[in-house]
Structure 1
Amino acid sequence: MGMERCERLYVGGAWKLPETPTEAIPLVSPATEEIIGSVASGSASDVNSAVAAARAAFPTFSSTSPAERAQLLKQILDLMEERAEELAQAICREMGSAIGFARASQVPFGIAHVRAAIDVLEDYAFIRKQGTTAIAKEAIGVCGLITPWNWPLYQITAKVAPALAAGCTFLLKPSELSPLSAHLFAQIMHDAGTPPGVFNMVTGRGEDVGAAIASHPDIDMISITGSTRAGILVAQAAAPTVKRVTQELGGKSPNIILNDADFARVIPLGVAAAFRNVGQSCSAPTRMLVPADRLDEVAELAAATAQAMIVGNPSDDATDLGPVANRNQFAKVQEMIGVGIAEGAKLICGGLGKPEGLSAGYFVKLTIFSEVRPDMRIAQEEIFGPVLCIIPYADEDEAIRIANDTVYGLGSHVQSSDLDRARRIAGKIRAGQVHINYPAWDGFAAFGGYKQSGNGREYGVFGMDEYLETKAILGYFPE
């Protein structure tokens, strides 16, 4: 595989070099630590050009019919399905996703957001009658979409599809750490016949491109998925222009295992959920809350599950989990494993360093701590790697208290053989999503956070609503 040069930006319907000549950002393979490509480093002037193109395209595009926008989304959907393997290979190379996982989850879930937007458009009422008043839903305007590296395609389509469905025009800033899938997606947008200026993409660093987007006076809305720190910076930069800011940020999601659950089934599934995407999911259930009197049984089941997982070359079909996505993430995960050991949590598998036989690449040992106290840093801070904390609780009330004892509130899980009991506990958890007994993923279920996990919601109709303004027209329906 040769060097992959992603050194052009997509602005106004064409691929262009950055306006200010700057050195491209190197793309490092997380599996080998070798440079495998480069990505254009855009600047504020590129953002200005992209916003101008989006602003110019907005009057025409926002007045298209829902059927026309659905047709464009169908073209995008068809091309994504046609190029699914190419997208999966790109995600494997750029952020180390195991190829099997890229094919089974990363790409299909990304495609599902486009399909969901088409379905939502079919029966969405852009004008609703309320007595003699019309409640109109209108595209908010030009949007800045900022996406992360951990689910690169999935996060792009979770924003692009509903923004397009709503009739907005937009500028995408994908993570400079996962540019390959973003460039393939931009080409799909082009090949699908997206009108010039509707979709623009400027790659670069957050402090350059992200900051310029957040503060831009001609951008009406920002949607960012990223760390809580990044979300705060964007909101602060956006405040002087009073634009809408929706944020999907960090998480430290609990998984409450009730004493009536089938432990032999739910503990292995809980470990798999926490380690999915090598733990690099904001909603990963990385705090497993278990009855104190069954702590040893849980630890044994959890360790056996982790030890059966294959960590290795992400392009190998047999691999369950590849490396973490980049050097900074590897360093952070190692630091937090060290913190857990220093805090006195009981290490039941994994630990510091790389797995045996994997000297190159950002590979991490699958690590599980037991006897974790809720006040430990490893129980409070988002680690974003394959590190699971098993926390004992005395009774149901304490389990709920521990579950809510966090600055975050994104995902959560409850396992019980008593559905009424699980539903009652789900009602007491302060989080944007609760999963009862590991249900199937639902691309129409509102996704977003309480507390420092963010503002606003994504997916399905809830995602599209964020890109719409509400206008009341009184006297629209006379008596």
Structure 2
Amino acid sequence: MDFKKLYIDGRWVEGVSGKFIGVENPATETVFAEVPAGTAMDVDRAAKAAKAAFTAWAHTPLSERIEKMRTMATIFKTMETALTTAIVQELGAPVGFSRTAQVQYQFERIQSYIELAATVRWVEKLPHATVYREPVGVVGCITPWNYPLGQIVQKVIPAILAGNTVVLKPSQHTPLTAFYLAEAFHRAQFPKGVFNLVTGRGGDIGDVMAEHEDLQMISFTGSTPAGVSVARLALQSMKRISMELGGKSPCILLPGCDYEKAISMCFNSIFLNSGQTCTALSRLLIPVQDKEKIEALLKKTVSSYTVGDPTREDVQLGTVSSARQFKTIRAYIEKGLRGGADLLAGEIPQKTSVGYYVQPTIFTNVTNDMTIAQEEIFGPVLCVITYRTEAEAVRIANDTRFGLSGAVWGATKEEAVRIARQIRTGNVYINDGPRDVTAPFGGFKESGLGREGGVDGILEFTEPQALFDDGTIG
């Protein structure tokens, strides 16, 4: 794969600047690939290509769009090994986790969108009108580094199925999987301009995309401050915006639930991918009367999470993504100790000779007003908070500016659902309920605007047009 070219208007082309951005392996601290440092001129080329392709693609029958996407998905699946290797190298995620969660699960998401596209109510009859779901137009997709393929899939696939054309800017830190996706679109012989890939730094081209006159929508995933900045630029020309932002998600353990299973689920959420997950269950709320018992289980269970070389199959945590992320997490751990919390597990991270490794870290005696309980650390750091009553647990869970995800474990499903319905988050896991790829995903409050996933995630890339026709036409 040639990572030194952009994909614009159905062709692999040179970037205008002739300059490149190095991609570092956080486990070896070596630059192992380079991608073009895109410019405003590259964005303009891609936007114009997408605009030129839009009308024909929007009028392509849905059945043909679906069939094209099936072909692309079949080709893309043959790249599983290369995709897994790329994510291990660019993100430092363990190979087992990269294969299952970062790659294979994304194949499931693609298939889900393909199947759901045929079920969407593209035309709806009302008593005196017909409502048509029209594609928005050219969609700019700006994606983060922590799930380099997953965040791309959540935007690009439903947008194109809905009849839009796309300009994609992946994170400059983990851009490589986007190149394989571009190649799969190319081999599937999508019309030129339907999918375009421009790499570069966010400040150089992300802002340009948000302001570009030929883009009608910006779909962004990243931190809340960055999302606010992009949204402000996009709204200057009243672009449609979809924002999937930060989280500080609670996991509530109700008295009498299966503490061992609940802890295992919480740990997988906060520790796998080294805590670099927007939905990570980073606040564990436990009944004060069972504090000692639960803390003993926490210490016992955390010892089974192995940190090490991400190329090893027996490792659960590889590195964090970069030196910058390592320093940020370390600063939060130090702040937690200064703020009065105690370390039940883990330590202040010490830089090893090679690689940015952080041990699973558990803070106890945390109160919800502490910085570590309010701000998104984006590392393998869990805050344990006690509560005395259900009402207090709900208050603590909601006492944050975020509202992305959460979990409630109860002795019965009904008990857990009763509490979950009071939690102001977009998603809540009930006991050991699995993730459903057909469900909408997104947050309340500062966790974002709009939804990804399922039919809602397809409709996100459409505009409703109502024709007041007496309801007999359509």
**What TM-score range do you get, normalising by the shorter chain?**
over 0.9
Q: In the alignment, does 2:356 pair up with 1:362?
A: yes
What is the aligned partner in structure 1 of residue 366 from structure 2? 372
Q: In the alignment, does 2:307 pair up with 1:311?
A: yes
- Aligned to 2:309, the other structure's residue is in SS state coil
What is the aligned partner in structure 1 of residue 148 from structure 2? 152
CA distance in 2, matches of 1:179, 1:327: 18
- Aligned to 1:152, the other structure's residue is in SS state coil
Q: 1:230 aligns with which of 212, 217, 226?
A: 226
What is the aligned partner in structure 2 of residue 96 from structure 1? 92
Q: In the alignment, does 2:185 pair up with 1:189?
A: yes
What is the aligned partner in structure 2 of residue 293 from structure 1? 289
What is the aligned partner in structure 1 of residue 15 from structure 2? 18
Letter of the 2:286 counterpart: V
**TM-score of the superposed pair, with normalisation by structure 1:** 0.97
CA distance in 2, matches of 1:123, 1:455: 24
Q: 2:420 aligns with which of 423, 426, 435?
A: 426
CA distance in 1, matches of 2:261, 2:12: 50
Shift of 1:412: 0.5
Letter of the 1:225 counterpart: T
Letter of the 1:203 counterpart: T
Letter of the 1:176 counterpart: Q
- Aligned to 1:339, the other structure's residue is in SS state helix
State how many pairs are aligned. Answer: 473
CA distance in 2, matches of 1:346, 1:371: 6
What is the aligned partner in structure 2 of residue 241 from structure 1? 237
CA-to-aligned-CA distance 1:224-262 (integer Å, 9 cap, x gap): 010101100111111110011100000000000001201
Counting aligned pairs with the same residue, the percent is: 41
Q: 1:282 aligns with which of 278, 281, 298?
A: 278
CA distance in 1, matches of 2:269, 2:236: 40
- Aligned to 1:351, the other structure's residue is in SS state coil
Q: In the alignment, does 2:403 pair up with 1:409?
A: yes
On the 8 A contact 2:66/2:114 being kept in 1, the answer is yes
Q: 1:461 aligns with which of 443, 455, 458?
A: 455
Shift of 1:317: 1.1
On the 8 A contact 2:117/2:458 being kept in 1, the answer is no
Shift of 1:476: 5.9
CA distance in 2, matches of 1:354, 1:96: 17
CA distance in 2, matches of 1:298, 1:143: 47
Shift of 1:80: 2.1
CA distance in 1, matches of 2:223, 2:60: 35
CA distance in 2, matches of 1:189, 1:297: 53
Q: 2:110 aligns with which of 114, 125, 148?
A: 114
Q: In the alignment, does 2:24 pair up with 1:28?
A: yes
Q: 2:378 aligns with which of 375, 378, 384?
A: 384
Shift of 1:417: 1.7
The CA RMSD measured in Å over matched residues stands at 1.3
CA distance in 1, matches of 2:466, 2:276: 42
Shift of 1:320: 1.1
Q: In the alignment, does 2:8 pair up with 1:8?
A: no
**TM-score of the superposed pair, with normalisation by structure 2:** 0.98
- Aligned to 1:6, the other structure's residue is in SS state coil
CA-to-aligned-CA distance 1:67-126 (integer Å, 9 cap, x gap): 111101111211222111111111111101100011111102211221111111222221
Shift of 1:303: 2.0
Q: In the alignment, does 2:319 pair up with 1:330?
A: no
Q: Which ranges in structure 1 are unaligned for 5 or more consecutive residues?
A: none
CA distance in 1, matches of 2:80, 2:419: 39
What is the aligned partner in structure 1 of residue 172 from structure 2? 176
- Aligned to 1:136, the other structure's residue is in SS state strand
Q: Which ranges in structure 2 are unaligned for 5 or more consecutive residues?
A: none
What is the aligned partner in structure 1 of residue 436 from structure 2? 442
CA-to-aligned-CA distance 1:108-162 (integer Å, 9 cap, x gap): 2211221111111222221111123110001010000011111111111110110
Letter of the 1:254 counterpart: P
CA distance in 2, matches of 1:371, 1:229: 29
- Aligned to 1:402, the other structure's residue is in SS state helix
CA distance in 1, matches of 2:327, 2:2: 27
- Aligned to 1:241, the other structure's residue is in SS state coil
| Match runs of 1:253-272 below 5 Å | 253-272=249-268
On the 8 A contact 1:111/1:154 being kept in 2, the answer is no
| Match runs of 1:133-144 below 5 Å | 133-144=129-140
What is the aligned partner in structure 1 of residue 216 from structure 2? 220
What is the aligned partner in structure 1 of residue 75 from structure 2? 79
Which stretch of the first structure deviates more once superposed, 183-192 or 141-150?
Answer: 183-192
Shift of 1:478: 4.2
CA distance in 2, matches of 1:36, 1:433: 37
Letter of the 2:74 counterpart: D
What is the aligned partner in structure 2 of residue 51 from structure 1? 47
What is the aligned partner in structure 1 of residue 336 from structure 2? 340
On the 8 A contact 1:378/1:389 being kept in 2, the answer is yes
Which stretch of the first structure deviates more once superposed, 428-437 or 70-79?
Answer: 70-79
CA distance in 1, matches of 2:2, 2:29: 17
